Amino acid sequence: MESLQKGLVLINTGTGKGKTTASLGTAIRAWGDGHRVLILQFIKGAWKYGELKAIEALGNIDGRIEIRPMGDGFVFHNKKNQTDEESFQKKALLAQKAWAMVTEEVMSDRWDLVILDEVNYAIHFGMISAGEVSDLIRNRPKRLNMILTGRYAPQELIDLADTVTEMTLVKHAYQQGIHARKGIEF
């Protein structure tokens, strides 16, 4: 019988692009190696974007990979820009529903890798607490690997993680007036 290995916790954070993309690359690698993978997206949900179609196609092959967008598709990068309380409360409710699903799925021990895409935003904006996430990481099945993405990773989670990567913005096409391109950014 194969011995259980300690699952790893990875965090992709920072102001640069590529946090979700890096986690999806790992998800595809894990799926390719026979692992069961669940991707839970805290912010994305309103749009149909390329990664949804790709992951759903892989999942249709053998059911070992799933992606579940659970947000409404919009991220506030700065709390000062958040002026619509009703909109914020809707996002907070979606985050709480997502958190309930995360807890259930993580503790089910059905998965080898669980990705909490953009969970750091939900923490940063007070929709869920870093303490809740820390507790789940500590109490998860020991073999479970997890990846947490999004800007503003709290120090509490960084301290728990095995690997932390910070993506740094050097230059972005948007700064030059070039809008996001389908197939490249979504």
Q: How far is the C-alpha of 54 from the C-alpha of 36, rounded, in Å?
A: 16
Give per-residue pLDDT as tens, 119-175. Answer: 999 999 888 999 999 999 999 999 999 999 999 999 999 999 999 999 999 998 878
Which of the residue ranges 29-33, 83-87, 126-130 would you say has the lowest mean pLDDT? 83-87
When the pLDDT of each residue in the chain is averaged and rounded to a whole number, the result is 88
R_g (Cα) of the chain, nearest Å: 16
pLDDT of residue 160: 98
Q: How far is the C-alpha of 102 from the C-alpha of 42, rounded, in Å?
A: 10
Q: How far is the C-alpha of 159 from the C-alpha of 178, rounded, in Å?
A: 37
Band of the pLDDT at 87, cuts 50, 70, 90?
A: confident
The stretch 10-19 carries a mean pLDDT of 96
Tell me the CATH number of domain 40-174, given options 3.40.50.300, 3.30.1330.20, 3.20.20.70, 2.30.130.10: 3.40.50.300
CA 144 to chain centre: 15
Placement of tokens 């059905």 in the chain: 110
**Beta carbons within 10 angstroms of residue 26's beta carbon:** 16
